Amino acid sequence: MIRYIRRAAACCLLLLVALLANAARVQVFQADSLDKNPANRRLTIARYHEPRGNILVGGRSVTGSKDTDQQLRYERTYRSGPLYAPVTGYASQTYGTTLIENAEDGILSGTDSMLAPFPLWNELTRAQQPGGNVATTIKASTQEAAYNGLGRRRGAVAAIEPSTGKILALVSSPSYDPGVLSGTGPSVTDAWSRLNASASQPMLNRAIRQTYPPGSTFKIVTAAAALDSGAVTDMNADTDTPDPYTLPDTTTVLPNEASGCENASLEYAIEVSCNTVMANLGVKVGLSGMDEAVGKFGFNDSGLKIPSGVARSNFDTDMSKDQLALSSIGQFNTSATPLQMAMVSAAVANGGELMYPHLIDETRAKGGRVVRRNDPKSYRRAMDASTAVQLQQMMVDVVTQGTGSNAAIPGATVGGKTGTAQNGVNNAGTPYAWFISWAKADCASQPAVAVAVVVEDASAHRADITGGGFAAPIARAVMRAALEH
Amino acid sequence: MTATTADAPPPELRLPKRRGVELVLLVGAVLISVYGYIDVGLAKNDAVPADTLNYGAGLGLLALLAHLAVRFRAPYADPLLLPIAILLNGIGLVLIYRLDLETPGDSAAPTQLIWSTLAVALFICCVLFLRDHRILQQYTYLSVAAALVLMITPIFFPAVNGAKIWIRVGGFSIQPGEFAKILLAVFFASYLSANRNALSYTGRRIWRLQLPTMRVLAPVLAIWLISVGVLVLERDLGTSLLFFGLFVIMLYVATGRLSWIAIGMVMAAFGAFVVGSLEPHIRGRVENWLHPFASIDAGQGANQLAQSLFSFAAGGVLGTGLGLGHSILIGFAVKSDFILATAGEELGLAGLAAVFLLYALVVARGYRAGLALRDSFGRLLAIGLSSILAIQVFVIAGGVMGLIPLTGMAMPFLAQGGSSLVTNWVIVALLIRISDSARRPDPGFAETGIIAPIVEDES
């Protein structure tokens, strides 16, 4: 019996060894992969255990953190949430992050290894640093002007500093308060479903994530292509264009809203917005020529990041001549984000050199040490310098003598282009009112701002909704704010 | 008996009782528990818990009373058993208190303290009134009958979380199956010690297997069937595993026949296979053990076992420290079946190994007492009781750490649950009683100074 008891005891010892070995397996050898399992909430809990870093506009924080004493301890708060929502995005315990909150999450949450004084050492210790701050390129007064200008109407504004690519304003209306998504619980989930169910789509970032038919504002791109390719050599010379213009290989007739467009010069065609001349020029430049030209402005680029992804603005690469004609005046399948059209305006204002648009100036560790700085860089040369000079002149003419008179600012040179984009099948929908422009203070050496404004308003009368009437005043307010120091 | 000379009394032989050691260890156990309690308070609220003194005094008083009972009635008992039981119970209270802080609406620690008091009271009663473990031998058939009744009763009560192991009486819910463990161990011990030879040497031989006679085999088969019945009707995989393990170990120790083990294993495997294929509840457990992260891949989030594994992993080698882990994420049953995850996360591999070793010490001491005894009933009972503890720890610890399929079972002394606490305290009381007999000097050998001769039997 003694022998059997000893053997049974050995069995028990075996069980103990198995338990200890298994404990070591789970707690030591598999620990890393278990810690990183997406379903393991501990990383999330650790992430919210410290106050989140802040997003700065003009040196002031537009965000904050609130200690809730919940499991996910610190919740994001927003000062003027709706105003900056298209810039900051939300940082929700329940729904994750978007826009800057998402793109710079590493800095804001303190997980970015560059925040540590000795990054390599930090990789080993995996110590959590306090969250760093993100300084944006947004100018508060410009942002506010755009937001107030749009008011309760649906639409978007994007403003860029042409010489650097800094985004000065990014507004989408109607907006929402990202703060209502911070944290967990029924109030958050209710807000989420309410915002998502809303017909006005308050969470849609219209400035960078929504594309609209650009309408007549696209004629600037077509004009640049025509001048660059040599289809037009003199902007004051007559073009050979009938009025009305029959689309190539069809019987469809393209009318004009403006008068005096028959054989009009490029300058006049831009000034009063002749459809016939610009459609004809698009066809003359040809499909491959147009495609190359629009690509230099940023169309058809799905990789544009500011650092959040920008929706791809479209210009078809495979179409018939009549479709090319319509595309060249910003219709058919041509579509653009408001930011894209601001880039078009900025390229003209900056002498043809298009700077890469960006929203983040620099990121800093909590102590103020700069972690990364965004220096201006070129996106592409959108057009020849001489073309840019001619287009600047034409855009100034639009404001001084043409459809964009509402955008004029005393003491500054303003160039612009109106647009009224048709919408829906047979234009059944409400057209969009567009205005793109740039402004240079008389005392300054280069333009301070380029703007694109789009207003989509179902409550307005169709006749009223022209870019000049609706969108130009908003653009003027935005430019005014940007010109002030 | 050797003849003694009448004129000179034999020299007083001082045998080590080790009660002082026990007392010192008890003080240590209480202090460690109180330290843990304070630690939780400091980590969670930056303040020493208001009722620290009450907690410490309560645990200390329980320890002291138990110690006095042992000192008076079982002076030769093993000095390790009681302090380890107190320490594990104290750690359990600390862990439950720590988890209570995460669930403000539901505090289990006060209830557990009441149960602990009840359990220690029962322990004291056992030590005081059970003068000799051999008395239990007289109740062989009574104990098996009682065990069966206790096991069958819950079938008539509603199931809780898929297992029919509860009886609800008023506001109390008890698991009668817990108490049945001890009764079965008593039955097995006395039945096997009475029928050892019959089990070993009678019956026909088939090829090289010596089969026992039917008369001897029948009770064994009956018990096996009952276990399977419990498994099917109550869906209590853990208890069924425990019975198999207990029975096989005791049978082996009693007869030394590996053929029994083989038969037991085959029967167990067959039973498990049949039940597993019929019972989705059991099959789900096995599936879950094989693929703990399947629910995550299916996009349903982490299930309990996965959460438990996360918890252990988060602890790493040294643990997060008491009060700083997130084992509450396990959710349901975190204070009962999954209590070990909290220990694993907050005390780390180091603390977990310490807890395992504490259990191992109790088991080893039980076995040691069994070795030192001279009656085969006591031996088998000691082995049985120690094995119950060992198997319980293995089944639940292996379950929550993904070593074996998860079965619902309480971690002895640590887990929330009165029935389990009381049962395990009674086990410790019986082991104290047995170890007292084992280490007590035999009056017949008192003069020669031989404390306890060990009779090597024929095997």
Model pLDDT for residues B94-130, shown as the tens digit of each residue: 999 999 988 888 888 888 999 999 999 999 999 999 9
Are B454 and B375 a contacting pair, CB within 8 Å? no
Q: Across chain B, what does the average pLDDT equal? A: 84
Q: Global pTM? A: 0.70
Bin A104: left if φ > 0, else alpha if -120 < ψ < 50, else beta: alpha
* DSSP code, position A292: H
Of A15, A27, A32, the CB nearest to B312: A27
Are A87 and A359 a contacting pair, CB within 8 Å? yes
Residue carrying structure tokens 């329980």:
B62
Q: Across chain A, what does the average pLDDT equal? A: 89
- C-alpha neighbours within 13 Å on the C-beta side of residue A97: 20
- Give me the pLDDT at residue B449, please: 46
Cross-chain Cβ contact A42/B348 below 8 Å: no
pLDDT digits (tens, 9 = 90+) for A130-153: 889 999 999 999 999 999 999 988
Of A3, A5, A23, the CB nearest to B383: A5
Average of pLDDT values for A359-374? 92
Measure Cα distances from B325 to B238, B320, B330 in Å. Answer: 28, 6, 12
pLDDT digits (tens, 9 = 90+) for A341-354: 999 999 999 999 99
pLDDT digits (tens, 9 = 90+) for A193-206: 999 999 989 999 99
- Give me the pLDDT at residue B3, please: 46
Asked if A28 is an interface residue toward chain B (Cβ–Cβ < 8 A), one would say yes
Cross-chain Cβ contact A31/B316 below 8 Å: yes
Buried/exposed A455-474: b ≥16 CB within 10 Å, e otherwise: bbbeebeeeebbbbbbbbeb
Distance CA B18, CA B76 (A): 7
pLDDT digits (tens, 9 = 90+) for B291-346: 888 888 887 778 889 999 999 999 888 888 898 888 888 888 888 889 999 999 99
User: Distance from A67 to chain B by nearest Cα, in Å?
Assistant: 15
Nearest residue in chain B measured CA to CA from A24: B349
> Tell me, what amino acid is at B100?
D
Asked if A20 is an interface residue toward chain B (Cβ–Cβ < 8 A), one would say yes
pLDDT digits (tens, 9 = 90+) for B18-73: 899 999 999 999 999 999 999 999 988 888 988 899 899 999 999 999 999 999 99
Token pair for residue A446? 């280069």
Share in percent of chain B as helix, strand, coil (round to 5): 70, 5, 30
- Give me the pLDDT at residue A325, please: 93
Sign of CA dihedral B352, B357, B358, B359: positive
pLDDT digits (tens, 9 = 90+) for B429-458: 999 999 999 888 766 544 444 444 444 444
- The torsion angle over the Cα atoms of residues A8, A9, A14 and A18, rounded to 10 degrees, is 110
Distance CA A439, CA A414 (A): 4
- Give me the pLDDT at residue B9, please: 56
Q: Cβ contacts (< 8 Å) between A9 and chain B: which residues?
A: 364, 367
Asked if A249 is an interface residue toward chain B (Cβ–Cβ < 8 A), one would say no
Quickly count: other Cβ atoms within 10 Å of residue B232's Cβ: 16
Confidence of residue A43 (pLDDT cuts 50, 70, 90): confident
A-contacting residues of B 183-222, CB under 8 Å? none
The catalytic site residues of A sit at 216
Distance CA B407, CA B387 (A): 18
Cβ-Cβ pairs closer than 8 A, A with B, add up to: 131
Of B383, B387, B402, the CB nearest to A26: B402
A378-381 and A353-355 beta bridge pairing: antiparallel
User: Cα B345 to the chain's mean position, in Å?
Assistant: 23
User: Distance from A177 to chain B by nearest Cα, in Å?
Assistant: 29
User: Distance from A126 to chain B by nearest Cα, in Å?
Assistant: 14
- Give me the pLDDT at residue A403, please: 81
The H or E element that residue A108 is part of is helix A105-109
Residue A76 phi, psi dihedral angles, 5° rounding: -75, 135
Asked if B353 is an interface residue toward chain A (Cβ–Cβ < 8 A), one would say yes
Average of pLDDT values for B214-234? 69
Asked if A7 is an interface residue toward chain B (Cβ–Cβ < 8 A), one would say yes
Asked if B244 is an interface residue toward chain A (Cβ–Cβ < 8 A), one would say no
Report the percent of chain B where pLDDT is more than 90.
Answer: 41
Of B329, B376, B403, the CB nearest to A22: B403
Residue carrying structure tokens 């292509």:
A225
Cross-chain Cβ contact A1/B398 below 8 Å: no
A60-61 and A63-67 beta bridge pairing: unpaired
Of B253, B348, B397, the CB nearest to A1: B253
Average of pLDDT values for B268-292? 79
- Is A272 in a helix, a strand, or coil? helix
pLDDT digits (tens, 9 = 90+) for A96-122: 899 999 999 989 988 887 887 776 665
